[in-house]
Amino acid sequence: MILKMSKVSIIGPKKSLHEVMDTVYRAGVLHVESAPDLVKGTPFVDKVALTIEQKKELAELERLSSIARKTINILSPRFLMSAETTVKQTALSIEKAKATIEKAGNTVEGLNSDIRKLEQQLLLYRRYEKVLTALYPLIEIIPESAFMDYTGITLYKKEATLPLLEDALQGITYGRHELFKKDIDRETTACIVVYPKEFSQKIKAILHEENISEIVMPFDLSETPMIESVKIILQKTATLSNDIQEIERTLHKFACEEFYELSLSSRIIELEIEQIQVISELYGTKNTFFLYGWLPDMAIKSFMKTINEKFHNIVVLDVLPAMPEERENIPVILSNPGIIRPFEILTKFLALPQYGTFDPTPLLAIFFPVFFGLILGDIGYGIIAFMASLWVIWRWRKNEVVRGLGSIFMVSTFAAIIFGFIFGEFFGNLGELIGIHPVIDRSKSLIPFLIFTILIGGLHISIGLVIGIIVAINSRDTKNAIARSLKLLFVITLYGMAAIFYGLLPQSMLHIMVISVLVIVGALIFVEKWLAPFEAMKLVVNILSYSRIMGFGAASIFLASIANRLSAMPRNIFIGIIIGIFFHLINLALGLYAPAIQTLRLNYVEFFDKFFYPGGREYKPWGK
Amino acid sequence: MELGLIAIGAGLAIGLAAIATAIVQAKIGAAGIGAIIEKPELLGRILILLVIPETLVILGFVIAVIILSTPR
């Protein structure tokens, strides 16, 4: 059900603005709306300006909100990975929230920047690691000397530059050099050339001319002797990973301990920002302010009482009539009884219905479990899934959405158990073995089951069309009301023709039915122009689409039977049981996924299409 | 011979419908993922668009069942 909403205006003196806003905020029921255009365009009416203190506070809060978002982004992957988390049950004041964000921001930013720096360093050193590991044994045997110099180089084997280089070195040093080489991989050789210092310039020039890559140490080690640099790099490559892991652990611990408090602080700051921003959106004259908003009818009385008691004769609260042009903008709040409420998740998953239209949640709460049960229809699978749903509800009892989804599956799997008894299915065809006899054996009566599902489809679509007609009449949408009535007649006539085909109605009525179909389609063309034939065809396809209930149901039972047959094949009973469990688990996973998706599709596409107006604005009350 | 042809007919009915569904779903799926990355709140609508072509394969399955179940 969509709750009835009312628009209210609150007009009062500017000096009471903050007190009024605080009261409205604490009441937490008003969905604040911008002032109507008529008011905005009135002379002497302008936006309510924020004071300098408020502007400063807003800037500070926005800075903290930005820090909080950034910190939460860094912490959330670590927090999600952790099993142990600490929830601090403390009430947070705004000052505490600010301090928490500031502290967490500094700590996390510091640790994160340390990780980034170390990772960059590690990345740099890793580039050298391969070459230096190959060269290290060679460098170690080079004696320390004040008169000798050495250069590290890498050569591509296929370019065959080594003999040419040796000749060139011979020409420069007249044999007073030593060249050590070691293969790095199939393509590259690393070399160390040791020579007297006086040939340094000439050797470096020849290397440059021949385009031979000299090993240049990282910038931070450029002043360190090569042998020392190599030792440092190899040592640091090993320790840097440990350092990074150590900081990661600290960050992970911090995420486990502080994430909840940080998230809560961030929310408090966001609410504070909202509070100031709402004030900046208000309009008023020099001495008065105007506040507009929507709230549910049921909350008006207590809201009026609160305002009148606190601001008697100071503030005027009026309930305004909703203008027809405002209809699409009226916020929507769904309200359904306890057992149906979880199904609101499925409605919202598609979209919120527009205000003044129909909330399909109660019908979804009936048809979703029924269709799901019809497709799965197995006692064994149903019991396992039912137990799993109970566990999900218990495990995530504090998470409203997951708990809701668990409740939906609990009801749906219960329906699957009931249909399991009707179809006599227990892990496929094992029902017979334990004495469960089918009332209807769907594996042996596919065609009757197909006809049954198509009948259900016709009924479901007819219900959708009836609701669609009521919604169209309520919205004074005559064209749609007539078109939907004609479509309903078309569906009834089609079923009439099918009844004649199966001998349930006399053959003499066939002429009447054919003429009726032609008249209905003609009238539809008159109402919906060239789209009408497609709409009629779409209705037929919509109805046939319900045959998926039979299709997926049959697939489920055949797969279960195959699993049973495979498990009976091996001579060893334990291998047979393992095979059986494995294939039944696969079938169970498919058996839960496919019915859920197909049932949603039947409801969203075939059913909702007849009456649903998506695009409702969510009711977001301003306040605590 | 006749039984073999009936089986081939049923196989073609579901097989060709499945290929057609797969081609269409591949295109909708690829575009849908792109849209969801931009706007995660579209997941519900994209899911519906994605399963719309499945009607083809369901109809193919129904035809195959009817072919196989027709009394001879």
Could you give the ipTM of this predicted complex? 0.80
For the beta carbon of residue A61, count every other beta carbon within 10 angstroms: 24
pLDDT of residue A508: 83
Q: Is B52 in contact with A545 (Cβ distance < 8 A)?
A: no
Interface of A with B in 411-450 (CB under 8 A): 446-447, 450
pLDDT higher for A230 or A194? A194
Residue of A nearest to B53 (CA): A545
Give the percent of chain A with pLDDT over 90: 17
Identify the pLDDT of residue A209: 80
- Decide if A604 touches B, using CB distance below 8 A: yes
Structure tokens belonging to residue A93: 């004041």
Measured between CA atoms, how close is A529 to chain B, in angstroms? 25
Q: Is the pLDDT of residue A624 over 70?
A: no
| A455 membership: H or E segment, kind and range | helix A446-474
What is the Cα–Cα distance from A479 to A477, expressed in whole angstroms?
Answer: 6
Q: Mean pLDDT across the stretch A235-262?
A: 85
- Between the CA of residue A540 and those of A204, A487, A488, A534, what are the distances in Å? 84, 10, 12, 10
Q: Once rounded to an integer, what is the mean pLDDT over residues A563-581?
A: 84
**What pLDDT does residue A82 have?**
60
Contact B60, B14 (CB under 8 A): yes
Q: List the beta bridge partners of residue A284.
A: A46, A289
Number of other residues whose CB lies within 10 A of the CB of residue A211: 8
Weakest-pLDDT range from A83-97, A160-174, A199-213: A83-97
B61 touches A: beta carbon within 8 Å: yes
Burial class (CB in 10 A: 0-12, 13-18, 19+), A117: exposed
Query: Each residue of A276-302: pLDDT tens digit?
Result: 888 777 888 888 888 888 888 888 888
CA distance readout (Å), A345 to A332, A369, A413, A546, A618: 14, 14, 18, 23, 13
- What is the rounded (10 degree) CA torsion for A106, A110, A116, A118? -170
Amino acid type, A176: R
- Measured over the CA atoms of residue A611, residue A617, residue A618 and residue A623, the dihedral's sign is negative
- The structure tokens 């470096």 sit at A204
A614 sits in the region (left: phi over 0; alpha: psi -120 to 50; else beta) called: beta
Asked which of A37-46, A370-379, A400-409 is least confident by mean pLDDT, the reply is A37-46
- Residue A344's nearest CA partner among A405, A296, A394 is A405
Residue A27 near residue A293, CB atoms below 8 Å? no
Which of A42, A62, A415, A115 is closest to A269 using CA atoms? A62
pLDDT digit string, tens, across residues A308-345: 888 877 888 888 877 777 777 889 999 898 888 999 99
Chain B partners within 8 Å of A364 (Cβ): none
pLDDT higher than 70, residue A91: no
What's the CA dihedral at A396, A399, A403, A404 to 10 degrees?
A: -170
pLDDT number for residue A144 = 66
pLDDT reported for residue A65: 92
Confidence of residue A369 (pLDDT cuts 50, 70, 90): very high
Q: Output the CA–CA distances (angstroms, integers) from residue A157 to A98, A170, A214, in the order listed.
A: 62, 20, 15
d(CA A37, CA A40) in angstroms, rounded, equals: 5
For residue B53, give how far its alpha carbon lies from the nearest alpha carbon of chain A (Å).
11
Nearest of A272, A255, A351, A333 to residue A6 by alpha carbon = A333
pLDDT grade, residue A90 (50/70/90)?
low
Query: How far, in Å, CA of A237 to CA of A244, rounded?
Result: 11
CA-nearest residue of chain A to B44?
A: A350
pTM greater than 0.95:
no
User: According to the per-residue pLDDT averaged within each range, which of A108-117, A152-161, A427-436 is highest?
Assistant: A108-117
Task: Answer positive or negative: Cα dihedral of A320, A322, A325, A326.
Answer: positive
Distance from CA of B3 to the nearest CA of A (A): 19
How many other CB atoms are found less than 10 A from the CB of residue A204? 13
* Rounded-to-integer distance, Cα A136 and Cα A133, Å: 5
3-state secondary structure of B24: helix
| Residues in chain B, total | 72
Type of residue at A55: K
Amino acid letter, residue A352: L
**Residue B58 contacts A, CB cutoff 8 Å:** yes
Mark the ranges of chain B whose per-residue pLDDT is less than 70.
72
pLDDT digits (tens, 9 = 90+) for A479-526: 889 999 999 999 999 999 988 888 888 888 888 888 988 898 888 888
- Measured in whole angstroms, the distance separating CA A247 from the mean position of its chain's CA atoms is 30
A514 at B interface, C-beta within 8 A: no
Task: Say yes or no: A314 contacts chain B, CB-CB below 8 A.
Answer: no
* pLDDT category of residue A591 using cuts at 50, 70 and 90: confident
Contacts of A549 in chain B (CB under 8 A): none
Burial class (CB in 10 A: 0-12, 13-18, 19+), A396: middle
Query: Looking at beta carbons, which residues of chain B come within 8 Å of A598?
Result: 51, 54
Our CA-based measurement puts residue A508 at a distance from the nearest CA of chain B, in whole angstroms, of 27
What are A219's two structure tokens? 């910038």
The SS3 of residue A445 is: coil
Rounded to 10 degrees, the C-alpha dihedral A29/A33/A39/A43 comes to 100
Give me the mean pLDDT over the A369-386 stretch.
Answer: 92
The lowest-confidence range among A32-36, A134-138, A588-592 is A134-138
Confidence of residue A132 (pLDDT cuts 50, 70, 90): confident
Asked whether residue A565 carries a pLDDT value surpassing 70, the answer given is: yes
Can you give the pLDDT at residue A84?
57
> Helices (DSSP H) in A4-93: which residue ranges?
17-27, 37-40, 52-81
Q: Do A605 and B51 touch (CB under 8 A)?
A: yes
Tokens, residue A423: 């179809």
Alpha carbon A205 to chain centroid, angstroms: 61
Nearest to B46 by CA among B55, B35, B61: B35
Q: Is the pLDDT of residue A394 over 80?
A: yes
Q: Is B39's Cβ below 8 Å from some Cβ in A?
A: no
pLDDT band at A470 (very low <50, low <70, confident <90, very high): very high
